[in-house]
């Protein structure tokens, strides 16, 4: 009853502290890099740093979009890995029909928008996001399999090959895209009405509705944003190898969820930021990169990554609970 509320208040941290975890994570990353560099000089080279950022870009860009879903209190989408794959296939199929790259990309994004919007509408009508996106994931994977017969589709275009492998001022396209995406996501969440409404919705959907904000509009929008961010990665991945792959995106949903959680976005919504998720993706990529340099086997790498994620997420959860945040 309220007596307990009143008395327990002083012991709680009354202020919001969404950035504490961000700085702790940043500090952790710096320590990780410093210690790693001490034992393995290769780790500290600029070339390796770019490799890390390039690896982080794939899950990172998707995580930026996925954070909008989590922030809005709609948990996660499990369809993003499939959307990445589906978008690559869409691009390759459209280009194999003879469409120029620019039009094929626009169409791919348009289709991804529809894919996100349909899921958003279903969820706005009250369906569970996890179940809905799980279903959508299978649907998209099935569609892609049907179109490709499970065979990778080559993309024969010098422009696409250039986009996939170019290095502007020595930095890979994927990394550029990641940096630009971080900027856009930061701007949207901090500077636009929609961004603020997303946080309100995650903090309390009933209060958001009672304040006259359209819950359905925000819900549909966050799923569109996540879907488009997956399409960006789908196009970039297809360009990198000059073919649309139908395998190899299985672990992406896990990496994305891990990046969002490690970044410190509250799983129930209302607290966090896409930028934090981007940092989360970089931390995961850094650890994986270091283990690669140590030539650890695949099994060990997966094991360590998993243990690390659980450790951080549970650790922050306990710390947050103690502060009453």
Out of 213, 292, 293, 304, the residue judged to bind another protein by CB under 8 A: 213
CA-nearest of 242, 255, 247, 202 to 60 is 255
- Let me know if 49 is exposed, middle or buried by CB neighbors in 10 A (0-12, 13-18, 19+): middle
Beta bridge partners of 154: 243
User: Phi and psi of 273, rounded to 5°?
Assistant: -165, 145
Instruction: Name the residue nearer to another protein (CB basis): 40 or 207.
Output: 207
- Decide: is 321 part of the binding site for another protein (CB under 8 A): no
Angstrom distance (rounded) from CA 56 to CA 29: 13
- Decide: is 203 part of the binding site for another protein (CB under 8 A): yes
What tokens were used for 33?
Answer: 């890099």
Tell me the torsion sign for CA atoms 133, 188, 264, 84: positive
Q: Scanning residues 13 to 52, which ones bind another protein (CB under 8 A)?
A: 13-16
- Decide: is 196 part of the binding site for another protein (CB under 8 A): yes
CB of 72 to another protein, least distance (A): 13
- Decide: is 2 part of the binding site for another protein (CB under 8 A): yes
- Decide: is 214 part of the binding site for another protein (CB under 8 A): yes
CB of 38 to another protein, least distance (A): 40
- Decide: is 211 part of the binding site for another protein (CB under 8 A): yes
Distance of CA 195 to the CA centre of its chain: 16
170 DSSP assignment: T
User: For strand 167-168 and strand 171-172, is the pairing parallel, antiparallel, or unpaired?
Assistant: antiparallel
Q: What angle do CA 157, 160, 161 make, to 5 degrees?
A: 85
- Decide: is 319 part of the binding site for another protein (CB under 8 A): no
CB of 6 to another protein, least distance (A): 5
The SS3 assignment for 1 reads coil
**Segment interacting with another protein, rule: CB under 8 A, options 163-171, 190-198, 251-259, 290-298:** 190-198
**Segment interacting with another protein, rule: CB under 8 A, options 90-98, 184-192, 256-264, 284-292:** 184-192
- Decide: is 9 part of the binding site for another protein (CB under 8 A): yes
- Decide: is 284 part of the binding site for another protein (CB under 8 A): no
CB of 217 to another protein, least distance (A): 11
The footprint of another protein (CB under 8 A) covers 1-16, 190-197, 199-200, 203-204, 206-214, 270-271, 324
């Amino acid at each position: 009853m309220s007596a307990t509320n009143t008395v327990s208040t002083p012991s709680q941290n009354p202020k919001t502290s969404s950035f504490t975890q961000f700085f702790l994570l940043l500090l952790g990353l710096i320590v990780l890099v410093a210690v790693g560099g001490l034992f393995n000089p290769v780790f500290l080279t600029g070339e390796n740093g770019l490799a890390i950022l390039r690896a982080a870009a794939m899950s990172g860009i998707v995580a930026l979009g996925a954070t909008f879903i989590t922030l809005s209190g709609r948990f996660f989408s499990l369809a993003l890995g499939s959307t990445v794959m589906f978008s690559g296939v869409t691009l390759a199929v459209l280009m194999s029909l003879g469409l120029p790259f620019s039009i094929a990309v626009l169409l791919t994004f348009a289709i991804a928008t529809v894919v996100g919007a349909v899921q958003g509408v279903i969820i706005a009508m009250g369906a569970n996001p996890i179940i809905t996106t799980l279903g959508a994931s299978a649907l998209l994977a099935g569609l892609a399999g049907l179109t490709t017969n499970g065979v990778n589709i080559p993309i024969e275009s010098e422009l696409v090959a250039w986009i996939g492998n170019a290095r502007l001022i020595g930095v890979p396209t994927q990394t550029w895209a990641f940096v630009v995406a971080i900027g856009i996501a930061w701007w949207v969440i901090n500077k636009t009405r929609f961004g603020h409404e997303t946080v309100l919705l995650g903090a309390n959907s009933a209060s958001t509705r009672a304040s006259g904000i359209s819950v359905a509009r925000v819900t549909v929008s966050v799923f569109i944003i996540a879907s488009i961010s997956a399409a960006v990665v789908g196009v970039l991945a297809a360009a990198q190898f000059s073919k649309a792959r139908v395998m190899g995106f299985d672990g992406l949903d896990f990496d994305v969820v891990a990046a969002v959680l490690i970044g410190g976005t509250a799983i129930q919504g209302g607290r966090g930021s896409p930028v934090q998720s981007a940092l989360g993706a970089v931390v995961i990529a850094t650890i994986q990169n270091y283990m690669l340099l140590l030539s650890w086997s695949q099994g060990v790498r997966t094991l360590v990554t998993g243990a690390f994620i659980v450790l951080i997420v549970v650790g922050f959860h306990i710390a947050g609970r103690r502060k009453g945040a």
